[in-house]
Structure 1
Amino acid sequence: MRRRAKVSSHAHMGADYTYIYSHAIRFLLIFVVGIHFGSLKVNPAAAQASMDMSTAVLSKVDPSGDGDFTKIQDAIDAVPSNNSQLYFILVKPGTYREKIVVPADKPFITLSGSQATDTIITWSEGGEIFDSATLTVLASDFVGRYLTVQNTFGTTGKAVAVRVSGDKAAFYGCRILSYQDTLLDDAGRHYFNNCYIEGATDFICGNAASLYERCHLHSLSKGNGSVTAQHRVSPSENTGFTFLGCKVTGVGSAFLGRPWGDYSRVIFAQTYMSSVIIPQGWDDWQDQTKHSTVYYGEYKCYGPGADTSKRVQWSHRLSQQEAAPFFNEGHDRRERVASTYTKKFQKTL
């Protein structure tokens, strides 16, 4: 059965619950102080002092039957519509052959395994990117931890493993695997930390405002694939992908990105790039008109693939001053988001 409990009184429940609490709280603190494109500056102590985040509803998914549910989707379905509490769903080790949707009216869900290599959500479906995902997140304030999510459709078409379309979502220590359009980072503000993301063609795509920190991006492309296909379509959109302290490897050769949208925006900073990266770095998707509208930048990257001497002229080698706007947030926005969360959680916890 589902339980409503406080962290401090459930130390005996083991490390799994401790991890769920601590990292989900960290996620919420990140968004309390605000994320916008390329910006992350967290003050956890100040944020935590302003709210009580210690109480949550707990449930366990175990395929052996030794839990509250045997299927992940059943646990999600049990969360009330228009939920305003924190729900923590602990997924025990196993292989879950499910196509999962977190509906838009079910925010504040944490879905957590204990280790990504033994907690696997798998499906096999190709077709349109908005329909084929193994895991679709439409709700806001979602956390995914220590999960492998894969689409095993293969190399013959679009096959999304994870689609994220809700605002304020975060993934920690996850493995996200497919071939084409692996991660549809569709819309909203998102954070990926220590995730392994694998694919060949446009395998991180969409129009979210997302920060990828210490993630490993692995290209399966044997020639001229693309790591990113960012879909920003207007200069007024505050969207784009920032990769900070990441690692890019692969088996063949790949571009860092190509413009799905006319105003596509991607930054790689302090990232290791193996020789898999093609010297020119970026592809224009056979449309030279986008040279003047896209924004592709690199800052203090290193490794054999980070040599910018042969990069396309329409990409940017960023100085510290030029890179600063992508990593420094506005004080007013941070305070506004913090105030909103403080009021919300004081009412609901």
Structure 2
Amino acid sequence: MAAYCFFIVFVALSTLLVNSEAKLIIRVDQSGKGDYMKIQEAIDAVPSNNQEPVYIKINPGVYEEKVVVPVDKPFIILSGSKAANTIITWNESGEIFECPTFSVLASDFVAQYLTIQNTHGPGAKAVALRVSGDRVTFSGCRILSHQDTLLDDNGRHYYVNCYIEGDTDFICGNAASLFEKCHLHSVSERGGAITAQRRVSADEDTGFTFVNCKISGVKSGSAVLGRPWGSYSKVVFAFTYMSNAILPQGWDDWRDSAKQNTVYYGEYKCYGPGAITKTRVEWSRNLSTQEAQPFLSKDLINGKSWITLAPTSSKNSTSAGNINGGH
């Protein structure tokens, strides 16, 4: 018990994020009271190959637009006031790299207090968020769709206090990502999957790790924790509450039994009615403390050197209106 309490304290301390000082602040407001009325316009205003943090403050509203942070726009910090009233929404299905509501291609990106949703509905690939840059943080965000909700594509990523909702493979891709204190909600009625991790080689240092998370669902026995998009798919859940939405088998081989020999699917000290490991498929792992330890800190993604949050004040900062002439 003492060791467990120590771990809880450790995780609480480890989630403290370093503040950034942004020299440039851009304000987005739909009523015209900011520098821009659209989020994409604000991102477009950031200089190419920028080397200093740019803070884009989004005022409450429903922003119906498709947003891309291009690869040559690093060091952007995008922040709403709270996720419930700052919503980025789009309705599109199709090829997973083309249909996302929000795509992050740049590195050193931070988003917080936003809802990002694809409203297309069930039965088709409809990505809400694509993350393909390195050193990317999402904090306090809601990410909503049905199939392939979060395309966690490539790079090192950190998600904390986020709510992620979907039914089929709704966290998918081949990034190296740590999810802390996130709520995963399955809206699947049957045959759903929380994750579809795409690691294709034992040499790849990628995978999804969930620590101190919560899994809920709309129906009992309606989803598995994961299935292998790639032959070496790697997913670990630790200290996570699992509702009865999770099927007793826990994991699925996606109709390819050969992958049972190469995937890495582990659980460590999870709890709740969906976390009974004695009913799991025999090729998943009930991790020992020693086996789980490498997955339990930000060292997993070298995160201590880059994980950050938006600045808490704009003191000594310059508005984009003074630089770019305003809206």
TM-score normalised per structure 1: 0.80
Partner of 1:183: 150
1:277 equivalenced with 2:246 (yes/no)? yes
Figure out how many residues of one structure are paired with residues of the other and give that number. Answer: 293
- Which residue is 2:65 aligned to? 98
Contact 2:178 2:298 in 1 (8 A): no
Q: Which residue of 2 aligns with 1:259?
A: 228
Is the alpha carbon distance of 1:55 and 1:164 closer, same or farther for their aligned partners in structure 2, counting shifts above 3 Å? closer
Instruction: Give the Å deviation of 1:224.
Output: 1.5
Judging changes above 3 Å, is the alpha-carbon distance between structure 1 residues 229 and 44 closer, same or farther for their aligned structure 2 residues?
A: closer
The alignment status of 1:204 with 2:171, answered yes or no, reads yes
| Aligned with 1:290 (options 259, 263, 287) | 259
1:1-349 alignment, distance < 5 Å: 42=14, 53-252=20-219, 253-327=222-296
Give, in whole Å, the separation in 2 of the partners of 1:168 and 1:251: 33
- How far apart are residue 324 of structure 1 and its match? 1.2
- Matching residue's letter, 2:240: T
Supply the distance in 2 between the matched residues of 1:99 and 1:53 (Cα, whole angstroms).
Answer: 27
Whole-Å Cα distance in 1 between the matches of residues 86 and 299 of structure 2?
A: 38
Q: Greater share of helix residues, 1 or 2?
A: 1
Between the aligned partners of 2:23 and 2:98, the Cα distance in structure 1 is 31
Pairwise CA distance, 1:40: 11
Q: Distance in 2 between matches of 1:56 and 1:236?
A: 40
String of CA shifts for 1:176-213, please: whole Å, max 9, x gaps. 00000000000000000000000000000000000000
More contact order relative to length (CA 8 Å, sep ≥ 6): 2
Q: Are the aligned partners of 2:21 and 2:53 in contact in 1 as well (CA < 8 Å)?
A: no
* In structure 2, distance between residues paired with 1:143 and 1:84: 14
Paired amino acid for 1:280: Q
| Offset at residue 327 of structure 1 (A) | 2.8
Alpha-carbon separation, structure 1, partners of 2:217 and 2:286: 23
Q: 3-state DSSP class of the match of 1:309?
A: helix
d(CA) in 2 for partners of 1:68, 1:146: 20
Residue 117 to residue 43, structure 1, CA distance change in 2 (3 Å): closer
Q: Is the 8 A contact 1:147 1:174 kept in 2?
A: yes
User: Any idea what SS the aligned residue of 1:190 has?
Assistant: strand
SS where residue 84 of structure 2 aligns?
helix
Asked whether the equivalents of residues 230 and 240 of structure 1 are also in contact (C-alpha less than 8 Å), the reply is yes
Matches of 2:67 and 2:21, distance apart in 1: 27
Q: Which consecutive residues of structure 1, in runs of 5 or more, have no partner in the other structure? A: 1-38, 339-349
The one-letter amino acid of 2:263's match is V
Letter in 2 for 1:272: Y
Residue 278 of structure 2: SS of its match in structure 1? coil
**Identical pairs, percent:** 62
Do the aligned partners of 1:41 and 1:329 also contact (CA within 8 Å) in 2?
Answer: no
The answer on whether the counterparts of 1:41 and 1:328 sit within 8 Å (CA) in structure 2 is no
For the aligned residue pairs, the C-alpha RMSD in angstroms reads 2.1
- Whichever residue aligns with residue 296 of structure 1, its letter is Y
Return the alpha-carbon distance in structure 2 between the equivalents of residues 156 and 329 of structure 1.
35
Shift of 1:54: 2.9
Residue aligning to 1:25:
none
CA contact (8 A) 1:40 1:328 kept: no
SS at match of 2:293: helix
